[in-house]
Amino acid sequence: MLQGKTMFGGIEIFAIIDEKIDLSNIPKNVILSYKVITAEYYLMHRQYHLSDEIYMDYLEDAKFLYGEQGAPTLLIAKGLAKSYAFKKKYLEAEEILLDIIVKMKESLGPTHTITIETMNQLSNVYAGCDRITEAIEMKEKCCQTMVANTGLANTLTVSMLTELADIYAKLGMYDNAEKLLNGALAAVIKQFGEYYDDTINIIFC
């Protein structure tokens, strides 16, 4: 018996995942949400062959029910790309994410948070396969857009900034890394205080 939670079609869903449950009389859209939770559970626990199988099996169903640009379809595709990246199947992950980003720019807009988060996911794929120039270029764009949209004291923005700072540090670009982290740290402390989770995460970068 497993427990999981995810965002599906704009709705937060919490479910008890029972692998023996009979799904024969359950509507397909409910099954999809149920399966996404299951796949994310397996992904979180590094059982990538199981998450791959579920994402691939239900991607076509999502396309049929919600269309190529439907939020559930894009969510499942993003999950499959993440699973591929964890398995170091970077080319497959890149192909999926490039397609998703085009669709998100059309349906959500180029500066929407979900679009930017997906672009950041692609930058992590580039970093994982040592395409560092592309990773930095895309992650810098993501950080700039997130700072403009939400300010520095935002959890997702802080996460992207610390990832970029980590790349800078690994390349010996310590001044760049320090400037990013100091800016984010000052903003988070000002808004949330010294003991907020993001504050502590930045301090220990």
Query: Residue-wise pLDDT tens for the chain (205 aa)?
Result: 344 444 434 333 334 444 445 555 556 666 667 677 777 777 778 887 888 887 887 788 788 878 888 888 888 899 899 989 999 999 999 999 999 999 999 988 999 999 999 999 999 999 999 999 999 999 999 999 999 998 877 888 888 988 999 999 999 999 998 888 887 777 777 766 655 455 445 444 4
- CA 95/CA 86 separation, integer angstroms: 15
pLDDT at residue number 6: 44
- The 3-state DSSP class for residue 13 equals strand
Helix (H) or strand (E) holding 90, with range, is helix 90-107
Sign, CA dihedral 144-147-153-159, equals negative
pLDDT at residue number 9: 40
Please choose, from the candidates 128, 127, 163, 167, the residue with its C-alpha nearest in 3D space to the C-alpha of residue 146: 163
Helices and strands of the chain, counted as H and E runs: 9, 2
Total-model pTM: 0.75
pLDDT at residue number 58: 79
